[in-house]
Amino acid sequence: MISFVLPFVDLQKSSKKAALSHNKIFLTSCIHCQISMHLLRIVSVLVASELFHLVCGGISAEETLSESDADFCHGGLSLMYPGLAVDRCLVVPRERSLRERLSSKWGAPQVRWEHAEKEKRYTLMMVDPDTPSRCNPTKSHWRHWLVVDIVGSDLRKGDVKGSVLSGYRRPTPPRGTGLHRYQFMLFEQQGSGPLSLSCEEASSLGTWDPQAFVKRFRLGRPLAALQFLTRNAAE
């Protein structure tokens, strides 16, 4: 008879070693996971901080128009300043002191809309929704210009005549508040009743609600809209 002697295996000790090895791997994985999550949080904070900095006062190397800002413009409205033509949404370039002249020298632009009907009357408004900044618009909207009863035949020639409810105010964004949007909206007037600002509206340019004005006089949706973005000229 042939007999075999099997080696003795301490199952209890082996199980303990396996358990310790498993725990070590598990703890190592958890540590790596925690480190990864911590790094992810740091990266997220840095990215959010950088985006906030660029939008709310920082100066990027290249200022480009976002898709949502570009989509605001429609209807074929055009503006003409002495040294700047605007017929689409754009960021005013730094070159040729355009921002400085826009904020300190040039008056109201010529506004032209070739689709205007000669006998109809129109309302034009210019507002800044980013007051004091796009990230903190506590004074939105700031009324920069409001003209009503513009005759279509004049509008087709770029001659904005009519009743001026708010005189033109140049775009003068404060330092450190980033790019501001200056929005022009054109509405067709309904009926023949007079349009006017309330006493409360007339007492201040800031915290104006253009939608309330539009609703009060049943102006509907803007037939055309245009905007340009600019920042403080000294930046």
Q: What is the pLDDT of residues 129-170, one digit of tens each?
A: 999 999 999 999 999 999 999 999 999 999 999 999 999 999
Per-residue model confidence (pLDDT) at position 167 = 98
CA gap 111, 106 in Å, rounded: 14
Beta-strand relationship, 180-188 and 163-166: unpaired
Calculate the average pLDDT of the chain. Answer: 83
Amino acid 63: pLDDT: 79
Beta-carbon contacts of 127 under 8 Å, excluding residues fewer than 6 positions away, are: 141, 142, 143, 144, 182, 183, 185, 208, 210
What's the pLDDT score for residue 191? 83
pLDDT tens string 108-136: 999 999 999 999 999 999 999 999 999 99
Residue 233 pLDDT greater than 60, yes or no: yes
The predicted pLDDT at position 96 comes to 78
Closest CA to 122 of 219, 38, 203: 219
Q: How confident is the model at residue 172, as a pLDDT? A: 96
Q: Which two tokens stand for residue 167?
A: 């005189």
Q: What's the pLDDT tens digit per position in 38-83?
A: 544 543 434 344 444 445 644 444 578 999 999 999 999 999 999 9
| Alpha carbon 50 to chain centroid, angstroms | 16
pLDDT of residue 185: 98
Query: Residue 178, Cβ neighbours under 10 Å: how many?
Result: 24
- Please report the pLDDT score of residue 50 as a whole number: 42
Helix (H) or strand (E) holding 185: strand 180-188
Q: Which residues sit opposite 185 in a β-bridge?
A: 125, 225
The whole-number average pLDDT for the span 203-226 is 97
Q: Which residue has the higher pLDDT, 6 or 161?
A: 161
176: left (phi over 0), alpha (psi -120 to 50) or beta: left
Residue reference for tokens 């032209």? 112
> Residue 174: pLDDT above 90?
yes
Q: Is the pLDDT of residue 30 over 80?
A: no
**pTM, entire model:** 0.76
C-alpha distances (whole Å) from 59 to each of 14, 52, 111, 222, 234 are: 64, 11, 30, 32, 12
**Residue 22 above 80 pLDDT?**
no
Q: Residue 226: phi, psi to the nearest 5?
A: -150, 150
Is 88 exposed, middle or buried, given 0-12, 13-18 or 19+ CB atoms closer than 10 A? middle
94 by DSSP, 3-state: which? coil
